[in-house]
Structure 1
Amino acid sequence: MDLIQKYRRFFWILGQWVFFGLLIGFIVGSATTLLLETNDYLGNAREKNGWLIALLPIGGIIIGYIYMNYGKVVKNNTLNDAAKLNNLVIDAVHGEKQVLRRMGPIVYLGTFITVIFGGSTGREGAAVQMGASVAEAVNKFFNIPILDKKIIIMSGISAGFGSAFGAPITGAVFGMEMAVLGRLKFEALVPCLVASFVGHYTTTAVWGHTHEHFVIKNVPEISIILFVKVILLGIIFSLLSVSYSQLRHWIENTTDRIFKKNHMKRAFFGGIIIVILTLVVGTQDYNGRSLTMLEHAFTEDVPPFAFLAKLIFTAITIGTGFVGGEAIPLFFMGATLGNALHSYIDLPMSFVAALGLIATFCGAANTPIAAFLLALEFFDGNGVEFFFVACMVSYIFSGHHGLWPSQQIYEPKSKLYGLYNGETIKNIEKKKKQ
């Protein structure tokens, strides 16, 4: 009898996880389709109307006003600020804070404003935050126990990432890997897997959205010299990811201090700087998502310092309070740097661009397994050995830096770093300054 009860309980819990994954996946997949289609439309509209970039500072004021007046909620003597973006989502997974149900609509509106006026952002941030806000609504509606709420939030993250990039396997793992550096929270496997796949197929099969596709034209034959080159490239791309993360954090902290946490003033100032930089470089190739040049990085030579321009544009955009995502800008930085390096190391252009795309994202996000799986899904399994090495090297050499200061370190990347378990990236940065 006890055995029968155990099996009943097992299948009851399994059924719940599948149900919640289905529900979250469908809602988030539909919402992500709206995000992707609207972003494409607004991005095309901006490219046809270059004068819209002049309105970016005004867009910053609007975004700042929304977050300052509608993005903050105090619960249990704790401030839950939607302007913390993915950091709030990670804190919710740790049980330290709570995702706002209004966070999804707010970040969607902020992303649309950023895109139409030429801020340099991506989209996965909005998809992940919408996923988390949908998951929080499910938590509230079904009155889910406190210990299981974290798992539901993680499944929302998976649904958002998987549907945003057409990478359901990556999405499933990303939801489990994002919050804690050095550990996969496998207790969330079932709802994350279901939510990511359902979200992906809702976006593609139900609503018919087509994702961008990148192709590696030629993968070199395996050799010791080639692996040495891949290791060297992995180190270079890890340094690129650290440079971006540190610059963005510095801009964010500095402008926050100068403008005394006034989101409207920060974003207005950031918008002015982006407008000036756009006039200086004489092109809007680095505004918006820059997908055209990203695709060209796999097929033809692009400006050798395009990666640096995108790094500066995106760091200022996100660091001064605009919203969207950082994955596509990181893809751009890595791919264009790879494009610039390929002739110096005598490797095929598309191959090095692909390595840069994946390794730079890996070093910044601190999600080596998800990044490796993303390479498999993006490039149809080509060059699997090299992507694995590049991801591991970038992960190790990027140190304990990253996009999200709220990430906890379950285990340090190496004993050489002399860190303790349970630290956050934010605390580590503070200790370095003392």
Structure 2
Amino acid sequence: MEIPVPPPESDPPHGTEPAADHRPDRGAVVRWLVRIGLAALVGLLSGVASAAFLKAMGWATKSFVEHPLLLFGLPLAGFAVGLVYHYFGRGSGAGNNLILDEIHEPQAWIPRRMAGLIFIATIITHLFGGSAGREGTAVQMAGSIADGLAKRLGITGHERRILLVAAIGAGFSGVFGVPAAGFAFALEVQTLGRLRRSAIVSTAVAAAVADATVLKLGIVHDALPSLGTVHLSPLLLGKLIIASAAFGLMSTVFAEALHRVHRWSARLASWPPARPLLGGVLVIAATGLVGTRAYLGLSLPLIGLSLAGGAGVALGAFAWKTLFTALTLGSGFYGGEVTPLFVVGATLGVTMGHVLHAPIALTAAAGLVAVFAGASNTPVASTILGLELFGLHPALVVVFALACGVSYVCSGSSGIYTSQHRRRWGFRHQRPTPA
């Protein structure tokens, strides 16, 4: 349903001046009102879905902690989810990349069943200890809800694209409680360097409504500790640049690890449902090898320890979390990549803080957002994310902007979203999908 815009009036006869017309363009006004209303509805529905998901996630995480033997059910749980997606998913397994593809070049409606499937599959992943996140689930639920609404109302073309971009902002905002970052992420991730100006208002409305809905339903997001007063100096900025280069390289390693495990699992098991079965066995083996369960599930305690000064965080924690997440998501389990990226970044920040003799809490906070910036190719959204999480202070603006910018530059062409487009210096090309 493309909202009609009245055609321009014909040119006046030669030699006459058109009369000034100050009447409002009613078609444009109607179009914007409809867009805002639909965006608010997407934000509301996505917020409800995110609240239910976060509540279920709390239950799954608590249950896994209280019943450690659930880990040994991870292979069979993955096999069951793999069967459902393989025979009943109808394309839902493409996840966030499917939403990005439909924004770029619409081919088919996003399956309405995607919302329910990803909700259940992610809860199962965490209930049995898989290393995954939450963002992918929230965005996929929001995208499925938005496209289902668009299909029911007959909305197609440009207006449908706007609704899908708004859905990305709503999903990200609702699950993390960061409406400004959710807004920026949605605009930046779908095509880097190309801002869809027509989606700005709708995305802002959807992100704000989703966040407000989650809070209204009683969900309280995890609070991060304050970084205190940050005193910048040329020496500290130099150390941050070095650390941020490492964050960018780590984001490349993380993305490539996911893609490589995905390819390897496909070679080892041609039947898709068998891949998470194998992945679950490998996660159990890795847990026995490392001798701790700290890298299972969301691993949020590692973020807290890192931001508190790094006590109790192993210097190689970032590598272990990358391995556990690659084995989980790369083999076919479902969930998000963003929270694991936060963990990898924060723990790598601890290591870099020790190596460079820099304030560990500050390097951990910078790493948390910078590794995400490099892996998702969203430096602006990641900078805003850091300010929403840690506070809008002038020194932190410099720290997060520097860290995310350097990380993005050093991250190369790899990324966790294979359907993301990039546009630089007037050229646009699609990132190649891993073979």
Q: Give the secondary structure class of the aligned counterpart of 2:74.
A: helix
Q: Which amino acid aligns with 1:208?
A: G
Q: Which amino acid aligns with 1:318?
A: L
Q: Give the secondary structure class of the aligned counterpart of 1:150.
A: helix
Residue 402 of structure 1: aligned partner: 415
Alignment of structure 1 residues 300-311 onto 2, 5 Å: 300-301=310-311, 302-311=313-322
Greater mean alpha carbon deviation, residues 160-169 or residues 209-218: 209-218
Q: Matches of 2:249 and 2:106 in 1, distance apart?
A: 31
Residues 227 and 390 in structure 2, CA contact (< 8 A), matched pair in contact too? no
Q: Matches of 1:208 and 1:221 in 2, distance apart?
A: 37
Residue 281 of structure 1: aligned partner: 290
Q: Matches of 2:405 and 2:121 in 1, distance apart?
A: 34
Q: Give the secondary structure class of the aligned counterpart of 2:222.
A: coil
Residues 349 and 367 in structure 2, CA contact (< 8 A), matched pair in contact too? yes
Residues 121 and 318 in structure 1, CA contact (< 8 A), matched pair in contact too? yes
Deviation at 1:5, TM superposition (A): 6.2
1:5-59 Cα offsets, whole Å, 9 max, x none, are 6531222111111101110011000100111111011101101111000000011
Deviation at 1:108, TM superposition (A): 0.6
Q: Matches of 1:31 and 1:143 in 2, distance apart?
A: 23
1:234 and 2:207 equivalent? no
Residues 239 and 358 in structure 2, CA contact (< 8 A), matched pair in contact too? no
1:423 and 2:429 equivalent? yes
Q: Matches of 2:151 and 2:88 in 1, distance apart?
A: 19
Residues 43 and 207 in structure 2, CA contact (< 8 A), matched pair in contact too? yes
Deviation at 1:253, TM superposition (A): 1.4
Q: Give the secondary structure class of the aligned counterpart of 1:423.
A: strand
Q: Matches of 2:200 and 2:244 in 1, distance apart?
A: 29
Alignment of structure 1 residues 187-226 onto 2, 5 Å: 187-204=198-215, 206-226=216-236
Residue 267 of structure 1: aligned partner: 276
Residue 128 of structure 1: aligned partner: 139
Q: 1:25 pairs with 31, 35, 43, which one?
A: 43
Q: Matches of 2:424 and 2:360 in 1, distance apart?
A: 36
The higher radius of gyration belongs to 2
Deviation at 1:86, TM superposition (A): 1.0
Deviation at 1:298, TM superposition (A): 0.9
Alignment of structure 1 residues 48-127 onto 2, 5 Å: 48-72=66-90, 81-98=91-108, 99-127=110-138
Please list every run of 5 or more consecutive structure 2 residues that lacks an aligned counterpart in the other structure: 1-7, 10-20
When normalised by structure 2's length, the TM-score is 0.91
1:47 and 2:65 equivalent? yes
Q: Matches of 1:219 and 1:55 in 2, distance apart?
A: 46
Q: Give the secondary structure class of the aligned counterpart of 1:297.
A: helix
Q: Matches of 2:400 and 2:52 in 1, distance apart?
A: 32
- Residues 25 and 347 of structure 1: CA distance in aligned 2, closer, same or farther (over 3 Å): same
Alignment of structure 1 residues 370-381 onto 2, 5 Å: 370-381=381-392
Q: Matches of 2:387 and 2:29 in 1, distance apart?
A: 32
Deviation at 1:96, TM superposition (A): 3.8
Q: Matches of 1:187 and 1:371 in 2, distance apart?
A: 22
Residues 216 and 351 in structure 1, CA contact (< 8 A), matched pair in contact too? no
Q: Matches of 1:174 and 1:5 in 2, distance apart?
A: 36
Give the number of equivalent residue pairs. Answer: 412
Q: Which amino acid aligns with 2:275?
A: R
Residues 220 and 348 in structure 1, CA contact (< 8 A), matched pair in contact too? no
Residue 149 of structure 1: aligned partner: 160
Deviation at 1:258, TM superposition (A): 2.7
Residues 78 and 280 in structure 2, CA contact (< 8 A), matched pair in contact too? yes
Q: Which amino acid aligns with 1:163?
A: G
Residues 219 and 348 in structure 1, CA contact (< 8 A), matched pair in contact too? no
Residues 216 and 354 in structure 1, CA contact (< 8 A), matched pair in contact too? no
Q: Matches of 2:80 and 2:192 in 1, distance apart?
A: 34
Q: Which amino acid aligns with 1:275?
A: I
Q: Matches of 2:265 and 2:227 in 1, distance apart?
A: 43
Deviation at 1:424, TM superposition (A): 1.9
Q: Matches of 2:229 and 2:148 in 1, distance apart?
A: 45
Residues 217 and 351 in structure 1, CA contact (< 8 A), matched pair in contact too? yes
Greater mean alpha carbon deviation, residues 45-54 or residues 84-93: 84-93
Q: Matches of 2:402 and 2:227 in 1, distance apart?
A: 20
Q: Matches of 2:401 and 2:51 in 1, distance apart?
A: 30
